[in-house]
């Protein structure tokens, strides 16, 4: 039966009981407004662990000035109904003062990772992400934590933090879940009008164009990004924040595409900022000669 916990002391006590009984814990951190992308993570956690904890916490530290913190979608009752159907054990739903009491002044800085891609236009964002995820890991003590590939830079930041700080948690990244026409599922899709949802397909189309060009033997990153940009700029409601092709570990931009490089982009559709990415694969053709 789903249990909702709002206080740090209560979650500590419940997790202590789990650990005393040697239960494995799968953890899915979210900001709520759950969709099929979140639920795919929950289902994987359910398959692989004795207990499943989902956090719902809209983290103020990862929102900048004039961002959508106060307007971020909130569907808590519906979220709990969905999680109950997935046999989740605990929803941890603290208020901001519980997580960040008066005097809180600690940040987690990941140099060389937080200032690239989304970090350029959202300064301080990944410090906020790292701080809250570290706190949640310390409270929930998961054996495995689950994240989606759509938030690619976030997954790299968290993996690096876990490695650098020797945290005893395994990070699993699962594929992006998309709608029928390719739009990556996101809580922020709720902001889009029906027309804007159609316009937003330009993100996925541009990523597919990138892979198609790589399949055709094009390796010049600037050429590929140029063609991606043309697709997006053909959509009147779209405004590019960035298009980049990067090394998947360092997030450094590459000039020549290799297998495993990631094409990532952020685009505003109307007032809504959307992100997406794809792992590019370079085809290797083997020639077999017979005699």
Domains and CATH numbers, the chain: 3-174 (3.40.50.620), 187-278 (3.30.1300.10)
pLDDT single digits (tens) 17-52: 999 999 999 999 999 999 999 999 999 999 999 999
pTM above 0.85, yes or no: yes
pLDDT score, position 122: 95
> For 255, phi and psi rounded to 5 degrees?
-100, -30
pLDDT tens digit string along 160-208? 999 999 999 999 999 999 999 999 999 999 999 999 999 999 999 999 9
pLDDT score recorded for residue 284? 65
Residues of the chain with pLDDT under 50: none
Catalytic (active-site) positions? 38
Residues in a beta bridge with 170: 144
- The overall average pLDDT reported for the chain is 96
The structure tokens listed for 15 are 């997790």
- Return the pLDDT at 290: 55
């Amino acid at each position: 039966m789903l249990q909702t916990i709002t206080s740090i002391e209560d979650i500590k006590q419940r997790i202590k009981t789990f650990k005393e009984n040697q239960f494995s814990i799968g953890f899915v951190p979210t900001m709520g407004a759950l969709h099929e992308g979140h639920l795919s993570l929950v289902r994987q956690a359910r398959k692989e662990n004795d207990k499943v904890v989902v956090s719902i916490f809209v983290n103020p530290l990862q929102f900048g000035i004039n961002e959508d913190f106060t307007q971020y979608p909130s569907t808590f009752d519906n979220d709990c109904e969905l999680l109950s159907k997935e046999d989740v054990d605990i929803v941890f739903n603290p208020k901001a003062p519980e997580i960040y009491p008066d005097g809180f002044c600690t940040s987690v800085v990941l140099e060389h990772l937080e200032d690239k891609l989304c970090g350029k236009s959202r300064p301080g964002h990944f410090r906020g992400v790292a701080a809250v995820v570290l706190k949640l890991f310390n409270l929930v003590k998961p054996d495995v934590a689950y994240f989606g590939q759509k938030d690619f830079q976030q997954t790299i930041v968290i993996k690096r933090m876990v490695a650098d700080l020797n945290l005893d948690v395994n990070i699993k990244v699962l594929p992006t879940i998309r709608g029928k026409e390719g739009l990556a599922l996101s809580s922020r899709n709720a902001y889009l009008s029906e027309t804007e949802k159609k316009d937003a397909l330009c993100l996925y189309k541009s990523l597919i164009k990138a892979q198609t060009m790589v399949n055709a033997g094009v390796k010049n990153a600037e050429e590929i990004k140029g063609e991606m940009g043309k697709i997006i700029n053909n959509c009147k409601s779209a405004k590019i924040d960035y298009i980049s092709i990067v090394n998947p570990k360092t997030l450094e931009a590459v000039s020549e595409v290799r297998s495993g490089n990631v094409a990532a982009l952020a685009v505003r559709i109307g007032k809504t900022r959307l992100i997406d990415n794809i792992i590019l694969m370079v085809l290797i053709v083997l020639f077999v000669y017979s005699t």
